């Protein structure tokens, strides 16, 4: 543990000194050593390079090609140009639905996760006793939230006779079947995603603990209240981490699959209300065997994530400052 | 300063005590709030635990929160829901995949990380940028051709599509994690080894790897949790019932024929299925939370 602690505390300065200083053994010139370094490095990278070529680049190129074809696994892909893309946007209502479902899902869960994780992290960072226990307990849902088991549990919790209705019953509110209701099914799945805010919280907590206490003391002496201290000190200093968490959450939420699959038994129902993009892609590829069509969907997803990430990076110029600590 | 001197020390002390009490009171309120939130969040899980431990007929009844008739029958029934196929087989399948995935990730990712962190070579920053880029790639753009390829070489319905990519360092995140760690190791040790004529492999295997234990352990735990929870690829690649893993088998509870008739069995098996993840987490808690934290710092 101690070594990990050390590396944490000096994260950035330590990287500066890590460059190997060259000690040149007898009989070898500097450039010969450099060559040896070069060759050794590529040998070490060999598995990864093979992976990049065989299971990343080639499949990506192949799926780009397939997206312009009609291909149902049996037989050969037939070139149809842009037809898949045109059909997706003009003739496929479920596709448009899946986009709206996904945008709703991402648009609600990312801000809510950020809000919860930051609020709890700030609360925990006040020198509270039992910090480690709280941190672990809040983190537990992140560990299990993506599993099929929790999806099954959620289905019952938000079911007609589930826990949610029990709790509502305590306050005299009559419940309903949330997960089977087209209006409430998606919010239930969003709630499951928000439930796993612990992972972001842990990252926020680590960042908060790096802010020197003296900043807050100085601000207090100047008469800043709690909100001003948060707004003027905490927020700007952890902006890079907010940015990092947002990008991470965006990329992950766009690809969410398991929970929508489990609560709707793979259908995306009721009435396509939980038809997340990944789920529809899965249906097209592995139930309808429309591999070309699904490949086009995959590329649209890649471009969408690319645009979302690029927008985040562009906007970060206006609200994230990395200046000297 | 001049005004400060005029304060009565008694008064100052009293003021300090008052503030201390205020702070303590606020702390108490915060504790209460956090515990209440935790209770609401974890209530479904607690409910499931108690449901799994009570007779089937009492699960949705008004029988009180804590069971009066404790029983393990749900576990027995859930474990052998599918004819002669029991969860024993599913757990064996899951654990084999997890074990191989851990070995693959540790080996392949640490090798790549060693090159990035400790060696100078041509095209280093270009390749490093590619590595970072692949962390953001959605799996979907590779998935379909990969599936078709694995189908054609007869790998579908084997564990190979789930395991072989790990030996090719496909999880770039772990490379990144280890690079961050290995960079921070002092260079003196490796220099001494160079003087003694150690080969690159010896430097990596004998010096850097043992020193990188915390990063390796974090990788192992995360790989276990991710692989064990991974549903999408196991759903696609493992279709024969005797090849199924725990998450894929759990999914069978959704079938109207099996699942809805036995909520007790379902809850019991869900509970058992999250056990290994919680166990790994408890065993390596501090390491894990630190491991995630290191993503954010930089």
Of the given ranges (A20-34, A119-133, A160-174, B199-213), which has the lowest mean pLDDT?
A: A20-34
- Domain span at residue B130? 86-296
Which residues make Cβ contacts (< 8 Å) with residue A122, sequence separation at least 6? Answer: A204, A208, A230, A234
Residue of A nearest to B260 (CA): A156
Residue of B nearest to A254 (CA): B138
Are A203 and B292 a contacting pair at CB < 8 A?
A: yes
Q: Are residues B153 and B199 in the same domain?
A: yes
Q: Are residues B90 and B57 in the same domain?
A: no
Distances (CA, A) of A123 to A131, A199, A208, B4, B26: 10, 16, 11, 33, 11
Q: Pairing relation of β-strands A69-72 and A74-79?
A: antiparallel
Q: Are residues A37 and A94 in the same domain?
A: no
Q: Are residues A103 and A56 in the same domain?
A: no
Per-residue pLDDT, averaged over A123-148, amounts to 89
Q: Are residues B110 and B67 in the same domain?
A: no
Are A149 and B45 a contacting pair at CB < 8 A?
A: no
Helix (H) or strand (E) holding B90: helix B87-118
Q: Does B72 touch chain A (CB under 8 A)?
A: no
Q: Are residues B110 and B32 in the same domain?
A: no
With cut-offs at 50, 70 and 90, classify the pLDDT of residue B19.
confident
- Is position A171 within any domain? yes
Q: Are residues A228 and A305 in the same domain?
A: yes
With cut-offs at 50, 70 and 90, classify the pLDDT of residue B1.
very low
Q: Does B43 touch chain A (CB under 8 A)?
A: yes
Residue of A nearest to B231 (CA): A258
Per-residue pLDDT, averaged over A218-230, amounts to 90
Residue of B nearest to A5 (CA): B290
Residue A59 has pLDDT above 80, yes or no: yes
What is the count of structural domains for chain A?
2
pLDDT, tens digit, for every residue of A196-217? 999 999 999 989 988 998 999 8
Q: Does A325 touch chain B (CB under 8 A)?
A: no
Residue of A nearest to B274 (CA): A144
Residue B298 has pLDDT above 60, yes or no: no
CA atoms lying within 13 Å on the CB side of residue A112? 15
- Domain end point (choices B56, B76, B96): B76
Q: Are residues A191 and A228 in the same domain?
A: yes
Q: Does A1 touch chain B (CB under 8 A)?
A: yes
Helix (H) or strand (E) holding B233: helix B232-237
Q: Does A12 touch chain B (CB under 8 A)?
A: yes
- Is position B81 within any domain? no
Share of chain B above pLDDT 90, in %: 40
CB A54 within 8 A of CB B168: yes
- Is position B16 within any domain? yes
Residue of B nearest to A10 (CA): B184
- Is position A9 within any domain? no
Total residue length of chain B = 298
Residue A325 has pLDDT above 60, yes or no: no
Of the given ranges (A247-261, B31-45, B182-196, B274-288), which has the lowest mean pLDDT?
A: B274-288
Q: What pLDDT score was predicted for residue B63?
A: 61
Q: What pLDDT score was predicted for residue B282?
A: 83
Residues in chain A within 8 Å Cβ distance of B167? 47
Q: What pLDDT score was predicted for residue A51?
A: 94
Are A137 and B38 a contacting pair at CB < 8 A?
A: yes
Are B286 and A1 a contacting pair at CB < 8 A?
A: yes
Contact pairs from chain A to chain B, CB under 8 Å: 304
Per-residue pLDDT, averaged over B35-45, amounts to 91
- Is position B39 within any domain? yes
Cβ neighbours, 10 Å, residue B55: 16
Taking the alpha carbons of A296, A255, A114, A171 in that order, is the dihedral positive or negative? positive
Q: Are residues A57 and A135 in the same domain?
A: no
pLDDT, tens digit, for every residue of B50-77? 888 888 777 776 666 777 778 888 888 8
Residue B280 has pLDDT above 70, yes or no: yes
Residues in chain B within 8 Å Cβ distance of A313? none
**Choice between B191 and B98, residue whose per-residue pLDDT is larger:** B98
pLDDT, tens digit, for every residue of B194-253? 888 889 999 999 999 998 988 898 899 989 999 999 999 999 999 888 899 999 988 888
Per-residue pLDDT, averaged over B184-195, amounts to 85
Are A55 and B139 a contacting pair at CB < 8 A?
A: no
- Domain span at residue A127? 83-319
Q: Are residues B160 and B71 in the same domain?
A: no
Q: Are residues B42 and B154 in the same domain?
A: no
Q: Please name the residues between 205 and 264 in chain B that touch chain A, using a CB distance below 8 Å.
A: 211, 213-215, 225, 228-229, 231-232, 236, 247-248, 250-251, 253-254, 263
Q: Are residues A284 and A191 in the same domain?
A: yes
Residue of A nearest to B247 (CA): A148
Q: What pLDDT score was predicted for residue B62?
A: 62
Q: Are residues B199 and B55 in the same domain?
A: no
Of the given ranges (A117-121, A131-135, A278-282, B24-28), which has the lowest mean pLDDT?
A: B24-28
Distance to chain A for B99, nearest Cα, Å: 18
**What per-residue string of b and e applies to B66-77 under the rule 16 or more CB within 10 Å gives b?**
ebeeeeeebbee
Q: Are residues B24 and B148 in the same domain?
A: no
DSSP state, residue B203: I
**Choice between A245 and B60, residue whose per-residue pLDDT is larger:** A245
Per-residue pLDDT, averaged over A161-187, amounts to 83
Q: Is cis: bond before A270, omega within 30 of 0?
A: yes
**The CATH number of the domain where B179 resides is what?**
1.10.3720.10
Q: What pLDDT score was predicted for residue B228?
A: 94
Q: Are residues A28 and A154 in the same domain?
A: no
pLDDT, tens digit, for every residue of A66-101? 999 999 888 889 999 899 999 999 999 999 999 999
Residue B32 has pLDDT above 80, yes or no: yes
Q: Are residues A93 and A55 in the same domain?
A: no
Residues in chain A within 8 Å Cβ distance of B115? 40-42, 44-45
Q: What pLDDT score was predicted for residue B82?
A: 67
Q: What pLDDT score was predicted for residue B174?
A: 93
Interface test with B, best of A2, A4, A286 (most B CBs within 10 A): A4
Measure CB to CB from residue B254 to each of A126, A135, A265 and give the nearest one: A265
- Is position B115 within any domain? yes
3-state secondary structure of A78: strand
Measure CB to CB from residue B175 to each of A48, A63, A126 and give the nearest one: A48
Q: Are residues A100 and A139 in the same domain?
A: yes
Measure CB to CB from residue B138 to each of A154, A203, A302 and give the nearest one: A302
Q: Are residues A132 and A157 in the same domain?
A: yes
What are residue B82's DSSP bridge partners? Answer: B85
Q: Are residues B96 and B59 in the same domain?
A: no
**Choice between B129 and A11, residue whose per-residue pLDDT is larger:** B129
Are A152 and B253 a contacting pair at CB < 8 A?
A: yes
Q: What pLDDT score was predicted for residue A198?
A: 92
Q: What pLDDT score was predicted for residue B294?
A: 54
Which of A286, A259, A289 is CA-nearest to residue A275?
A259
What's the complex ipTM?
A: 0.84
Q: Please name the residues between 97 and 156 in chain A that touch chain B, using a CB distance below 8 Å.
A: 120, 123-124, 126, 128-129, 132, 134-141, 143-144, 146-150, 152-154, 156
Q: Which range is most confident: A8-12, A158-162, A282-286, B248-252?
A: A282-286
Residues in chain B within 8 Å Cβ distance of A202? 289, 292-293
- Domain end point (choices B19, B52, B76): B76
Q: Does B44 touch chain A (CB under 8 A)?
A: yes
What is the count of structural domains for chain B?
2
Are B197 and A25 a contacting pair at CB < 8 A?
A: yes
Residue of A nearest to B111 (CA): A44
Residues in chain B within 8 Å Cβ distance of A154? 44
Q: What pLDDT score was predicted for residue A285?
A: 93
Residue A23 has pLDDT above 70, yes or no: no
Distance to chain B for A59, nearest Cα, Å: 5
Q: What pLDDT score was predicted for residue B209?
A: 92
Q: What pLDDT score was predicted for residue A20?
A: 46
Q: Are residues A103 and A154 in the same domain?
A: yes
Q: Are residues B105 and B35 in the same domain?
A: no
CB A89 within 8 A of CB A95: yes
3-state secondary structure of B85: strand
Q: What pLDDT score was predicted for residue B74?
A: 85
Q: What pLDDT score was predicted for residue A131?
A: 87
Residues in chain B within 8 Å Cβ distance of A52? 130, 134
Distance to chain B for A102, nearest Cα, Å: 15
Q: Are residues A60 and A108 in the same domain?
A: no
Q: Are residues B292 and B223 in the same domain?
A: yes
- Domain end point (choices B76, B105, B123): B76
Residues in chain B within 8 Å Cβ distance of A13? none
CB A139 within 8 A of CB B38: no
Per-residue pLDDT, averaged over B87-100, amounts to 94
**Choice between A136 and A33, residue whose per-residue pLDDT is larger:** A136
Which of A113, A189, A194, A116 is CA-nearest to residue A158?
A189
**Choice between A226 and A18, residue whose per-residue pLDDT is larger:** A226
Q: Does A267 touch chain B (CB under 8 A)?
A: no
**The CATH number of the domain where A95 resides is what?**
1.10.3720.10
| Phi–psi pair at A69, nearest 5 degrees | -130, 170
Give the Cα separation of A125 and A211 in Å (integer). Answer: 11
Distance of CA B100 to the CA centre of its chain: 16
**Choice between A170 and B267, residue whose per-residue pLDDT is larger:** B267
- Is position A313 within any domain? yes
With cut-offs at 50, 70 and 90, classify the pLDDT of residue A300.
very high
Q: Are residues B51 and B175 in the same domain?
A: no
């Amino acid at each position: 543990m101690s070594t990990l602690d050390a590396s944490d505390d000096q994260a950035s300065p330590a990287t500066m000194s890590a460059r190997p200083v060259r000690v040149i053994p007898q009989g070898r010139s500097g450039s010969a050593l450099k060559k040896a370094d070069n060759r050794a490095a590529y040998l070490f990278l060999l598995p990864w390079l093979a992976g990049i070529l065989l299971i990343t680049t080639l499949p990506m190129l192949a799926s780009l090609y397939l997206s312009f074809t009609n291909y149902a696994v049996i037989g050969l892909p037939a070139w149809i140009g842009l037809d898949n893309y045109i059909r997706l946007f003009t003739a496929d209502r479920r596709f448009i639905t899946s986009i709206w479902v996904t945008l709703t899902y991402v648009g609600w869960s990312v801000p809510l996760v950020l809000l919860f994780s930051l609020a709890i992290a700030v609360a925990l960072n006040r020198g509270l006793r039992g910090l480690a226990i709280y941190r672990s307990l809040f983190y537990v849902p992140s560990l299990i939230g993506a599993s099929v088991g929790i999806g099954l549990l959620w289905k019952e919790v938000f079911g007609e006779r589930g826990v949610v209705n029990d709790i509502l019953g305590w306050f005299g509110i009559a419940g309903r079947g949330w997960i089977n209701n087209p209006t409430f099914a998606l919010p239930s799945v969003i709630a499951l995603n928000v439930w796993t805010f612990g992972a972001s919280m842990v990252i926020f907590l680590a960042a908060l603990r790096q802010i020197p206490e003296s900043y807050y003391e100085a601000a207090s002496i100047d008469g800043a209240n709690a909100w001003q201290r948060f707004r003027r000190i905490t927020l700007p200093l952890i902006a890079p981490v907010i940015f990092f968490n947002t990008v991470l959450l965006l990329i992950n939420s766009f690809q969410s699959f398991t929970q929508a699959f489990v609560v709707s038994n793979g259908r995306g129902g009721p009435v396509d209300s939980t038809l997340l993009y990944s789920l529809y892609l899965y249906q097209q590829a592995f139930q309808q065997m429309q591999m070309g069509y699904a490949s086009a969907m995959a590329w649209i997803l890649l471009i969408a994530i690319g645009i979302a990430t690029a927008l985040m990076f562009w906007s970060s110029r206006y609200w994230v400052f990395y200046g000297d600590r | 300063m001049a005004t400060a001197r005029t304060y009565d020390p008694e008064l100052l002390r009293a003021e300090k005590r008052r503030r201390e009490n205020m702070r303590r009171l606020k702390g108490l309120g915060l504790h209460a709030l956090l515990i209440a939130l935790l209770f609401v969040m974890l209530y479904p899980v607690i409910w499931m635990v108690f449901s799994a431990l009570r007779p089937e007929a009492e699960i949705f009844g008004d029988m009180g929160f804590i069971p009066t008739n404790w029983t393990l029958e749900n576990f027995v029934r859930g474990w052998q829901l599918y004819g002669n196929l029991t969860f024993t087989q599913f757990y064996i399948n899951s654990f084999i995949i997890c074990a191989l995935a851990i070995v693959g990730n540790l080996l392949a990712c640490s090798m790549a990380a060693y090159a990035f962190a400790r060696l100078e070579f041509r095209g280093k920053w270009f390749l490093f940028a590619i590595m970072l880029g692949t962390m953001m790639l959605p799996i979907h753009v590779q998935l379909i051709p990969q599936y078709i390829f694995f189908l054609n070489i007869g790998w579908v319905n084997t564990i190979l599509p789930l395991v072989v990519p790990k030996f090719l360092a496909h999880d770039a995140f772990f490379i990144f994690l280890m690079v961050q760690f290995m960079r921070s190791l002092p260079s003196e040790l490796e220099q001494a080894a160079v003087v003694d004529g150690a080969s690159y492999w010896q430097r990596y295997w004998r010096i850097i790897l043992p020193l990188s234990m915390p990063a390796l352990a974090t990788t192992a735990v995360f790989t276990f949790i991710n692989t064990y929870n991974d549903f999408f690829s196991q759903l696609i690649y493992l279709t024969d019932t005797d090849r199924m893993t725990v998450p894929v088998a759990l999914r069978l509870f959704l079938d109207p024929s099996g699942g809805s008739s036995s909520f007790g069995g379902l809850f019991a098996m869900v509970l058992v299925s999250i056990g290994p993840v919680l166990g790994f987490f408890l065993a390596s808690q501090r390491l894990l939370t630190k491991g995630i934290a290191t993503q954010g710092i930089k």
